[in-house]
Structure 1
Amino acid sequence: MLAKQWVLKVVRTKIFGLKYELMANDRRSASAIKRSSVLHRTYVLVPSGSGSWRGPPLLFLGPSLRGMPVTSMVPYMFTELSGCSVSPGNSRGVQKKKRRRRRRRRTSSKSRTLKSIDDLIQATYRPLNGKSKRKTITLLCLVLNYSISDSVSSFHWFRFFDTRSYDLTSLTNFSSFIDYGLDWNTSDSNCCTWIGVTCDNSSVSSKRVVRLELGSRRLKGRISESLAGLDQLRILNLSQNFLYGHLPARLFHLQNLEIIDTSNNDFAGPIPGGSNLSSIRYIDISGNNFIGSVDATLCESSSYIHTINLGNNYFTGEVPANFGRCSSLQQLFLNDNQLSGSFPESLWQLRNLRILHLQHNLVSGPLNDEIGKLSNLVELDISSNRFSGILPDAFERLEKLENFFAGSNNFSGHLPKSLVNSPYIIFLNLNNNTLNGAINLNCSAMVRLTSVDLGSNNFHGPLPDVISSCQRLTHLNLARNNLGGEVPFAFKNLQALRFLSLSNNSLVNISSALATLQHCRNLTSLILSINFHDEQMPRNVNFHFRNLRALVIPYCELRVAAKMLQLLDLSWNRLSGTIPFWLHEFNYLFYMDLSNNSFTGEIPESLTELQGLNNMNTSAERDSLGFPLFWSGADGSRFMYKGIWGFRPTLDLSYNNLTGPLWPGFGNLKELHVLKLKENHLSGAIPDSFSGMINLEVLDLSYNDLSGEIPLSLEKLSFLSKFSVAYNQLQGDIPAGGQFLTFPPSSFEGNEGLHGRQPTPFQPQQAPHDAQLADEETTIIGLQFGLGVMSGFLFTFTLSFSSGWVFAKT
């Protein structure tokens, strides 16, 4: 009986049209090759010299076991094939082994008698024509033996080429789809030297591309299907670019791929289902425009995956229950999508899970007690969903949970005992639910507690003294509850406290509150509005809040000189009377918003002397501060630190009842970026000196009683991107130069005396700052606690702290 043999098989391929694949039927040979540590390359045998062969190259993708491809082999591995000639099996004894060796020597000598490459090619084609396979195998082995014995380098019929040429083709095709940002020299055939490309550490003749890292390179374009040709790729990073279109389906079948990061681009469409990323460990496709359901097979193809980030897309449907099979999963980000349904119970089996982000979705139902099984959980964010019911009393088992965010849901009932006694919690946010009862935080146990937000609930009773034991507490929001009584004197011990909001409650004794809280030396934001009903502010009382930057309080008659004040926002109240003339004494003030009030009289001419708006050296001090802000979005309770440079120098007096002229001195405000005087009763001409505001980006003088002409000197304002003088009594020609070529006709309508060519708008020049220009009346610096309007606000106060902001928002 003959031994099992090597068989040559021909199959179709997109690369060459024909691919030659060696199939191993002999278990011993297959095992020997499989054990080799070098079976990870692909080699091509092509003719050289004057041979007459015109067929496709011989592509050796290596042996296969039971029809499944095994990794590739290198030239010196061809010695394993020397035993592939037809002979009896080696179980017959030594004599048969000797006969095989003699046969190999005879066939090897015959290989030198081959007169042309056509002899070999004809033989290898014979199996397709039903001819003897034995001759094919023998001839193939002869040639391989010949190449080993005479050395590959001296064998003149064949050259060995590594498959780096395939990677070169794939990368070249990939680059042809990138319109901008990719500076590759595609004429250099050594793609391993290209920017962002890393090859393996194999010999020079067989390097393969294993890493493609092009993150944050401002790439613009689409992803070519050819990228999936990098079959040895292990790391793919295309994050933080401007790429668009669909991700190739074949990309999710690269079995060597371990890390894929395409986050923060403009990709769209569904994610191909049935992925086969058998080696994947990390996948991040967040910050795109993907739609459809989440691929439930991500965890089925790989047991190594530890991070899945699908956040900030448009995925719909339910959270896949199959994610419970990701036994190694440590981080799961599904936030900011449109996922709905209940939370799968199978996910409570993820014992290695450390971070779970599900915020800003439509997930509903209760939060199960099974959450206690996630013993390694460090951060849980389920805020802004539709969870309901009572919070589970299972936090004693979550011994690593530090951050728990469950705001903007429909949770009810009391705070669980295991939660208010947890020694591990650092950040706790349960705002905007319907929780009730007393605030029974056990600060003596919660030794790591730093930030608490229980605002917008139904808590009642007095402010608990025990909060003063939270020595590490820096942020406390208890606004919009039913709390009463005085601010406990023990609150003076909160020396780390920086942000405190007690607004919209029923607190009493404002004098006592201020006298107590001034001892909080690090306090920068204090919000006490809509409390202290029918109380009078004490007159001629000094309070010293050394670091206070934001004060939100009604009926202010405090004495102070806030010489370091930088931002003043008193907008959206019902303030009346005249604007105080002494505001110019704030030498560092660069942002003033008094809009949407009922101020009357003239604009104080002293405002044209604001040093923070006409002195570059003064304005350079702004980057020294950082402060907590609240977004004007759905989740108003989330604060963030925003550098002072996030605010453009602004003077906004719009939507009042101001009268009188526009002062020529406004031209001195060289650092001013935004000037809004819309909807007042201002009169007179637009001063020619306005051209001195060289950094001006927004000028809105609409809906007043201005007359005269539009000064031609305004054409010099090269950064002006929004301009409106609509609905005044202006006359003359519309300037036709500079930025005036960009303004739409609506900027000039309502002025019957204006005439001239109506400009055609086009994309305006980029302003010197990246801050997005917006004309909405909402503002990101408002402290989002529901801006209640305060009637009867007395603007007869002198400000009373050494540095900071003053707000009058609630």
Structure 2
Amino acid sequence: MDRFMRVIAFLVLVILTIATINLSSCNGDVVCINSEKQALLCFKREFKDPSNKLSSWDVEDDCCKWAGVVCDKLNGHVIELYLQNPNSTTPVVGKVHQSSVLDGKIDPSLVNLTCLNYLDLSQNDFGGIHIPRFIESLANLHYLSYPGQDLEERSPTSSEPVNLNDLLSLNLHQNGFEGPLPGSLWNMTNLRDLDLSKNNFNSIIPFSLYSCSHLESLNLGHNQFQGAISSNVGNLTSVTILDLSYNKLEGRIPMSMGNLCNLRVINLSSNKLVVQVLDVLKSLSGCILESLETLGLWENKLFGHFTERLGQFKNLRELYFQNNLISGPIPMSLGKLSSIVVLDLSYNKLNGTLPKSLGHLSKLGILYISYNMLEGVVSENHFANLTSLVELLASVNQLSFDASPNWIPPFQLELVYLRSWQLGPQFPIFGYSHRSIF
């Protein structure tokens, strides 16, 4: 009996302790650790803050309430630091808005933030210095977004690259980097997320990059990468997002890409891919068919005809093939794209009639087919189950519309462009209650 009572007493004590911790957290009683507060103040003293975005650092006593600082709610340790320039959007690669930039040097006092796992200093101006050596001492750091001009990550006092092997995410977006990618990147074998977009890299994509088998997101978009996509891309077995858009890539899409079973988003738009669209569909016919949700290939030089293979992407939600040289009819298998939400086939050379299977796409919200050579009659059957349709852009084709006077469309359009259609003599009823008609 005494043993039973002791167990009950112990359980009550545990429950009371947990409740006390939760109540303390909810009441905001946990404050930052003084040594970490002093470290942040030392860090702040080393740079100018013209926009006063860190003014709360001088007012609030509790550093967990400071702008850009996130603390652990249980122990008060600083775990995240968001000091990116909030006004960094600019059309000029590598340039930042000086009115809100932090300007100065990075003080090594940051090493006292022993639990820091997220550090974002992007789009500021620290004099173009390399990633400082002391960053290695932040043992829990998993995310780093850093402004710089040299991707070799060398310490200013050493020729050896800074060891960032424990990083899970590295964001060096829009930093004005040029030339080839350095070999030191591929030592970061734990990387899950790599963003090097909007720079000026102008080499081929190194084969060694494809050995980073843990990568889940790879963004090399808006650079000047050249050459072909290697078949070694098939080694990126964990990747879910692959963005190689706005480069100068040539050649074909390797068959190995179709074996990336976790890949949900592919963006290869605005490159120099000269390939038959049928070959594209063949390359993406492996297990990727079960995972792929977004496929972007606009502004390339895809040519040839679609085939019934177009209908193989049963889980595809967004398909962008605009601004290519694709010809021939739109196949009936279009109606098998049962998950499609956005479909853009505009600015091609498609001809023939619009397939009635289009009317099966109940999730389709945006349909762009303007500037093709489609012809024939579009009837209410083409729209039978398009209950989600909000935008229809189909101008500059040779299409006419024929529906009964009593037809009630199943959708409510917000935007419709039908320039050059034969719509008369009776104006189609779906035009009356919608916002923009052209």
Q: TM over 0.5, yes or no?
A: yes
- The answer to whether the aligner puts 1:306 opposite 2:142 as a matched pair is yes
Q: 3-state DSSP class of the match of 2:227?
A: strand
Query: Alignment partner for residue 346 of structure 1, among 184, 188, 199?
Result: 184
Q: 1:93-172 counterparts in 2 under 5 A?
A: none
1:283-320: per-residue Cα shift (whole Å, max 9, x none)?
Answer: 4335654364253215444454211023xxxx452323
Query: Alignment partner for residue 221 of structure 1, among 38, 52, 60?
Result: 52
- Partner amino acid, structure 1, of 2:191: L
- The answer to whether the aligner puts 1:425 opposite 2:263 as a matched pair is yes
1:678-722: per-residue Cα shift (whole Å, max 9, x none)?
Answer: xxxxxxxxxxxxxxxxxxxxxxxxxxxxxxxxxxxxxxxxxxxxx
- The answer to whether the aligner puts 1:262 opposite 2:83 as a matched pair is yes
Structure-2 residue corresponding to 1:416: 254
Compute the displacement of 1:375 (Å).
1.5
- The answer to whether the aligner puts 1:543 opposite 2:383 as a matched pair is yes
- Partner amino acid, structure 1, of 2:145: N
Q: 1:328 to 1:486 in 2, by over 3 A?
A: same
Query: Alignment partner for residue 325 of structure 1, among 138, 142, 163?
Result: 163
Contact residue 383 and residue 409 of structure 2 kept, 8 A: no
Q: CA separation in 1, counterparts of 2:242 and 2:223?
A: 14
Q: 1:431 to 1:510 in 2, by over 3 A?
A: same
- The answer to whether the aligner puts 1:362 opposite 2:193 as a matched pair is no
Q: 3-state DSSP class of the match of 2:198?
A: coil
Contact residue 294 and residue 319 of structure 1 kept, 8 A: no
Q: 1:608-627 counterparts in 2 under 5 A?
A: none
Query: Alignment partner for residue 531 of structure 1, among 337, 349, 372?
Result: 372
Compute the displacement of 1:499 (Å).
1.0
Q: CA separation in 2, counterparts of 1:225 and 1:551?
A: 49
Structure-1 residue corresponding to 2:287: 445
- The answer to whether the aligner puts 1:482 opposite 2:348 as a matched pair is no
Compute the displacement of 1:421 (Å).
2.8
RMSD across aligned C-alpha pairs, in angstroms? Answer: 3.8
- Partner amino acid, structure 2, of 1:306: H
Compute the displacement of 1:521 (Å).
1.8
When Rg is computed on C-alpha atoms for both structures, the one with the higher figure is: 1
Q: 3-state DSSP class of the match of 1:507?
A: strand
Query: Alignment partner for residue 471 of structure 1, among 291, 310, 314?
Result: 314
- The answer to whether the aligner puts 1:238 opposite 2:67 as a matched pair is yes
- Partner amino acid, structure 1, of 2:352: N
Q: CA separation in 2, counterparts of 1:542 and 1:472?
A: 22
Q: 3-state DSSP class of the match of 1:419?
A: helix
Q: 3-state DSSP class of the match of 1:547?
A: coil
Q: CA separation in 2, counterparts of 1:306 and 1:367?
A: 25
Structure-1 residue corresponding to 2:128: 293
Q: CA separation in 1, counterparts of 2:432 and 2:239?
A: 39
Structure-2 residue corresponding to 1:385: 223
Query: Alignment partner for residue 568 of structure 1, among 415, 425, 435?
Result: 415
Q: CA separation in 2, counterparts of 1:450 and 1:479?
A: 17
TM-score normalised to structure 2 length: 0.70
Contact residue 275 and residue 301 of structure 1 kept, 8 A: no
Contact residue 392 and residue 416 of structure 2 kept, 8 A: no
Q: 1:795 to 1:452 in 2, by over 3 A?
A: same
Contact residue 408 and residue 431 of structure 1 kept, 8 A: yes
Q: Which runs of 5 or more structure 1 residues have no equivalent in the other structure?
A: 1-193, 201-207, 214-219, 242-255, 576-791
Q: CA separation in 1, counterparts of 2:285 and 2:409?
A: 35
- Partner amino acid, structure 1, of 2:366: S
1:714-756: per-residue Cα shift (whole Å, max 9, x none)?
Answer: xxxxxxxxxxxxxxxxxxxxxxxxxxxxxxxxxxxxxxxxxxx
Matched pairs, number: 359
Compute the displacement of 1:342 (Å).
2.2
Q: 1:23-42 counterparts in 2 under 5 A?
A: none
Structure-1 residue corresponding to 2:428: 798
Q: CA separation in 2, counterparts of 1:359 and 1:340?
A: 12
1:35-82: per-residue Cα shift (whole Å, max 9, x none)?
Answer: xxxxxxxxxxxxxxxxxxxxxxxxxxxxxxxxxxxxxxxxxxxxxxxx
Q: CA separation in 1, counterparts of 2:208 and 2:177?
A: 21
Structure-1 residue corresponding to 2:358: 517
Contact residue 130 and residue 150 of structure 2 kept, 8 A: no
Q: 1:361 to 1:799 in 2, by over 3 A?
A: farther
Q: 1:343 to 1:236 in 2, by over 3 A?
A: farther
Select the structure that is richer in strand: 1
Q: 1:275 to 1:411 in 2, by over 3 A?
A: farther
Compute the displacement of 1:420 (Å).
2.7
Compute the displacement of 1:804 (Å).
7.8
Structure-2 residue corresponding to 1:76: none
- The answer to whether the aligner puts 1:198 opposite 2:31 as a matched pair is yes
TM-score normalised to structure 1 length: 0.40
